[in-house]
């Protein structure tokens, strides 16, 4: 970027120190920031032919007031003003809400321009803006398309338009191309300057779209370039540990497992071990559907690191999972003389001290714990591998902590939320991805049914039948306690009802997030051992829990959960050899809600669920929270623009693989862009 554009906004006429502060609240400091504050929509003042306007569309028309305006008051201080307006011999009804004072001005015969939402059936327009054409006052030029910006209370959209226009007039010429010419030509992109002009003040809808397309591409490309460059640098760096893994020992370990690995498992294990043996740091995401067998992959990697003389840590989101993984790993690794410890919140001070000492001395090879593990005062003799299970968000933070501790182990993230590719390459684009896309043979898909609340009796009868066969059941409810606002079933109530229903015959346990860790544990253990037959729970059992004898999952108010979450919950059953069932109790009110339930009944494939969920809900909701680790794009939309994202990713990867990228003058602007980031500033020397 040329320096001109990096001047503060106060360089513009009409923006003083005070206005600059207002703009700063929007993150706008420089002229460039202002130019890159893109409109999120447009006001279209092109006058439309009413006969062509569609229902619900926002239109602008010019017509003549006809007849008397009518005002109706209702509620507290609310009013509705309506008047007939003739447009091309069609009579429309124009409506204003809470603008009764306009009545006097709406005299028959006056020419007026109206913008608002059009309702086809009633030939009605709900006016959001109006201009009398006989006053000589300035009216938005017929035929213009005006940008609408996000602003703050202190800034009006009109002012913003003026400032942007001024910035374009004064500095539009200083906007430089950042993409190399070959990309601009290959994808027939508008130049950067042209695109910026057109996205703010499009001369036509097509020009606006061209501008948007160019800027979306640029945004996705620059983002992918950063990830690709980061990846390339990490690969080249030799600050990782080249672990000398005795592969024959690993093979023997694999042979000792009670089953043979699926081809997908074998493939991902090779990818992981290759990374561990290389001198760069592994930064890999392992994804696989629920039940695809990620734990054993983790066990093999941990075995490998221990056999190479390093230590390994497995971190999981909950204590329950930590204990479960610990038990599994202990069973697998103990016979091979690998020392494994559980660092749990319920350990006594003394146990804890022993474990910490063991980690520091190297007596303990593998430690399992919650994510808090590395944040605490835990020191390792030589940490070679960190595996993080079931957590999306942890990556960046975890890397920081490890770095600050001076550790640089290989890192593997495991997730059972299959992530659609477009999201994976945005959220985890700097990682290598291994995918287990195959389930162990002999798994029966879980049969999933969607039922209404009225069917509860039949569901209970069905549950009884399963229990009579010796199976166990989960019952999930979204809330813990009764809530006055939401008439939802809650875990405590459901537990009481079921205990009553099955009293004397089956034991019903209750688990929720507010129980003390010890009690949660106790219930889970009892369920695991088959002493509790029905486990009523909130979503704390969501991830990872493995009780193969459970064959029925009942989910109350299923419409309240995300599909990824429902799929996770469903994954708690179908882990044994028996046919398993998942029953979703839901009365969704919306079409989307119904569609979501249908998706669950139609497919058992987590990737398919994820893909369709993403289509329905968009990327923000996909991970359930705002803090998904997804970058926020200004122009691009990772769902709509996914093809562009793929292209941008490929181009970025190609580009950084060229030696010229790191030195050639034609890429200087892009390198400059990267160097705005501290990581690259330190590493790219120009
Ligand atoms: P997830 O990927 O959901 O974490 P797990 O690792 O818990 O899955 O594996 C689910 C079950 O499948 C476990 O009981 C595990 O022992 C078993 N399993 C894993 N791999 C295989 C395999 N290749 N063949 C048969 N069973 C397997
Ligand atoms: Mg798992």
Res. 447 pLDDT band, cuts 50 70 90: very high
Q: Is residue 375 part of a domain?
A: yes
* 313 and 375 belong to one structural domain: yes
pLDDT tens, 501-526?
999 899 999 988 778 877 887 888 89
Whole-number pLDDT of residue 483: 57
| Same domain, yes or no: 386 and 465 | no
Its domain, for residue 122, covers 46-143
pLDDT given at position 627:
43
Q: What percent of the chain is modeled with pLDDT above 90?
A: 50
Name residue 97's beta-bridge partners: 80
How many angstroms separate the CA atoms of 364 and 351, rounded?
13
Q: What would the two tokens of residue 310 be?
A: 């390093």
The tally of domains found in the chain comes to 3
Residue 387 counted as domain residue:
yes
- pLDDT tens digits, one per residue of 27-72: 999 999 999 999 988 877 777 778 778 888 888 888 999 989 999 9
In sign, the C-alpha dihedral spanning 400, 654, 647, 284 is: negative
**580 vs 418: which has the higher pLDDT:** 580
The reported pLDDT for the residue numbered 93 is 94
Residue 534: per-residue pLDDT: 96
263 alpha carbon to ligand 1 midpoint, in Å?
A: 13
Give the pLDDT score at 486. Answer: 54
* CB of 292 closer than 6 angstroms to any ligand 1 atom: yes
In a domain? residue 208: no
Please report whether residue 370 resides in a domain. Answer: yes
- What pLDDT does residue 564 have? 81
What mean pLDDT comes out for the span 313-337?
Answer: 89
Of 116, 119, 114, nearest in space to 56 by CA: 119
Q: Does residue 343 fall inside a structural domain?
A: yes
Q: Which atom of ligand 1 is nearest to the CA of 294?
A: 2
Task: Say whether both 257 and 402 belong to one domain.
Answer: yes
Q: What is the dihedral of CA 647, 651, 653, 657, to 10 degrees?
A: 160
Q: Please check whether residues 123 and 251 belong to one and the same domain.
A: no
Beta strand 90-97 with 78-87 is: antiparallel
Task: Work out the angle at residue 83's Cα, subtended by the Cα atoms of residues 78 and 85, and round it to the nearest 5 degrees.
Answer: 145
Rounded CA-CA distance 284/13 in Å is: 51
For residue 619, tell me if it sits in a domain: no
453 shares a domain with 329:
no
User: Ligand 1 in contact with 546 (CB < 6 A)?
Assistant: yes
The predicted pLDDT at position 346 comes to 76
pLDDT at res. 625: 43
- The model's pLDDT over 531-572, given as tens digits with 9 standing for 90+, comes to 999 999 887 665 557 788 999 999 998 998 888 888 888 988
* Contact predicate 338/303, CB 8 Å: yes
Minimum-distance ligand to the CA of 329?
A: 1
Question: pLDDT tens digits, residue range 224-268?
Answer: 998 889 888 877 777 778 899 999 999 999 999 999 999 999 999
In the reported structure, the alpha carbon of residue 543 is separated from the centroid of ligand 1 by a whole-number distance in angstroms of: 14
The 8-class DSSP code of residue 173 comes to: G
Q: Which of 91, 121, 143 is the last residue of a domain?
A: 143
Task: Output the six-digit token pair for 546.
Answer: 């493995």
Residues 210 and 198: their CA atoms lie apart, in Å, by 8
Any atom of ligand 1 within 6 Å of the Cβ of 331: no
Map tokens 């009398």 to a residue. Answer: 132
CATH code for the domain in which residue 593 is found: 3.40.50.300
Query: How far is Cα 430 from Cα 453, in angstroms, rounded to an integer?
Result: 45
Packing angle of the helix pair 294-307, 319-333 (nearest 10 deg): 60
The per-residue pLDDT for range 261-311, each reduced to its tens digit, is: 999 999 999 999 999 999 888 989 898 888 889 999 999 999 999 999 999
Choose the final residue of a domain: 544, 575, 603: 603
> Is 398 inside a domain boundary?
yes
Task: Read off the pLDDT of residues 342-365 as tens digits, 9 standing for 90 and up.
Answer: 998 778 889 989 999 999 999 999
- Residue 482: per-residue pLDDT: 56
Domain end among 79, 111, 143: 143
Same domain for 400 and 453, yes or no, is: no
Pocket of ligand 1 contains residue 296 by CB under 6 Å: yes
Query: pLDDT value at position 632?
Result: 73
Which of 260, 289, 295 for a ligand 1 pocket mutation test, highest count of atoms within 8 Å of Cβ? 295
**Ligand 1 close to Cβ of residue 570 (< 6 A):** no
Q: Specify whether 408 is located in the same domain as 505.
A: no
Same domain, 270 and 415: yes
Query: What pTM, to 2 d.p., does this model score?
Result: 0.71
pLDDT for 137-182, tens place per residue?
766 666 678 888 988 888 888 899 999 999 999 999 999 999 999 9
Residue 471's nearest CA partner among 415, 527, 537 is: 527
pLDDT given at position 577: 79
Measured distance CA(96)–CA(102) in Å, rounded: 9
CATH code assigned at 133: 2.40.50.1010
**Do 472 and 529 meet the contact criterion of CB atoms below 8 Å apart?**
no
Same domain, 345 and 408: yes
Q: What is the DSSP letter of 413?
A: E
pLDDT at site 395: 55
Answer whether 574 contacts ligand 1 (Cβ < 6 A).
no
Kindly report each contact of residues 249-254 with a partner whose C-beta sits within 8 Å and lies 24 or more positions away, as own/partner.
249/307, 250/300, 250/303, 250/304, 250/307, 253/300, 253/303, 253/336, 254/300
Q: Which pLDDT score, from 0 to 100, does residue 367 have?
A: 95
Say how many Å lie between the CA of residue 49 and the centre of ligand 2: 60
Write out the two tokens for 140.
Answer: 């938005």
Q: Is residue 174 part of a domain?
A: no
């Amino acid at each position: 970027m040329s320096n001109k554009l990096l001047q503060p906004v106060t360089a513009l006429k009409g923006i003083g120190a005070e206005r600059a502060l207002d703009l700063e609240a929007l993150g706008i400091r420089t002229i460039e920031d202002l130019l890159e504050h893109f409109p999120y929509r447009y006001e279209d003042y092109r006058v439309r032919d009413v006969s062509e306007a569609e229902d619900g569309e926002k239109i602008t028309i010019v017509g003549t007031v006809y007849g008397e305006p009518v005002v109706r008051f209702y509620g507290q201080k609310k009013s509705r003003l309506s008047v007939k307006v003739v447009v091309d011999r069609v009579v429309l009804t124009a409506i204003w809400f809470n603008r009764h004072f306009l009545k006097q001005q709406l005299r028959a015969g006056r020419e007026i321009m109206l913008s608002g939402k059009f309702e086809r059936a009633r030939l009605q327009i709900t006016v959001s803006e109006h201009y009398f054409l006989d006053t000589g006052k300035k009216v938005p030029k017929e035929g213009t398309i005006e940008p609408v910006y996000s602003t703050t209370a202190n800034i009006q959209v009109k002012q913003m338009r003026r400032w942007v226009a001024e910035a374009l007039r004064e500095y539009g010429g200083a906007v430089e191309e950042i993409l190399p010419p070959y990309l601009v030509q290959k994808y027939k992109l508008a130049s950067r300057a042209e695109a910026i002009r057109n996205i703010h003040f499009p001369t036509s809808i097509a020009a606006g779209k061209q501008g948007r397309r160019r800027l979306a591409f640029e945004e996705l490309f620059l983002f992918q370039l950063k990830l690709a460059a980061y990846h390339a640098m990490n690969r080249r760096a030799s600050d990782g540990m080249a672990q000398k893994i005795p592969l024959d020992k690993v093979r023997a370990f694999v042979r000792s497992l009670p089953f043979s690995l699926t081809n997908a498992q074998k493939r991902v294990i090779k990818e992981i071990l290759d990374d561990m043996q290389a001198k760069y740091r592994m930064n890999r995401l392992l994804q696989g559907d629920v039940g695809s067998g990620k734990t054993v992959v983790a066990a093999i990697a941990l075995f490998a690191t221990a056999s190479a003389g390093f230590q390994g840590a497995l971190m999981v989101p909950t204590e329950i999972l930590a204990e479960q993984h610990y038990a599994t790993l202990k069973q697998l690794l103990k016979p091979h003389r690998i020392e494994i410890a559980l660092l749990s919140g319920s350990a006594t001070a003394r146990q804890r001290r022993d474990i910490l000492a063991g980690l520091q001395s190297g007596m303990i090879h593998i430690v399992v714990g919650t994510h808090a593990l590395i944040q605490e005062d835990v020191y390792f003799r030589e940490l070679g591998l960190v595996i993080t299970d079931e957590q999306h968000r942890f990556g960046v933070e975890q890397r920081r902590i490890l770095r600050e501790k001076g550790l640089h182990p290989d890192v593997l993230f495991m997730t059972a939320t299959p992530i659609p590719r477009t999201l994976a390459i945005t959220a985890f684009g700097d990682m290598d991805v291994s995918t287990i896309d195959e389930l162990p043979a002999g798994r029966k898909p879980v049969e999933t049914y969607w039922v209404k609340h009225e069917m509860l009796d039949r569901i209970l009868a069905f549950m009884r039948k399963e229990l009579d066969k010796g199976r166990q059941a989960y019952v999930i409810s979204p809330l813990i306690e009764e809530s006055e606002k939401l008439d939802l079933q809650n875990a405590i109530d459901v537990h009481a009802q079921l205990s009553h229903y099955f009293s004397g015959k089956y034991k019903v346990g209750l688990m929720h997030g507010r129980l003390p860790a010890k009690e949660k544990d106790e219930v889970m253990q009892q369920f695991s051992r088959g002493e509790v037959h029905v486990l009523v729970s909130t979503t704390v059992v969501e991830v990872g829990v493995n009780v193969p004898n459970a064959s029925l999952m009942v989910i109350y108010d299923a419409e309240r959960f995300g599909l990824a979450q429902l799929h996770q919950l469903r994954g708690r059953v179908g882990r044994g050899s028996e046919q398993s069932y998942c029953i979703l109790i839901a009365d969704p009110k919306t079409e989307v809600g119904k569609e979501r339930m249908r998706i669950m009944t139609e497919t058992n494939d987590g990737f398919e669920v994820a893909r369709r969920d993403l289509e329905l809900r968009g990327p923000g909701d996909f991970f359930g929270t705002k803090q998904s680790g997804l970058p926020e794009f200004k122009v691009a939309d990772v769902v709509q623009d996914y093809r562009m994202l793929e292209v941008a990713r490929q181009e970025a990867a190609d580009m950084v693989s060229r030696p010229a990228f790191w030195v050639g003058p034609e890429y200087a602007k892009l390198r400059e862009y990267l160097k705005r980031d501290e990581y690259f500033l330190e590493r790219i020397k120009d």
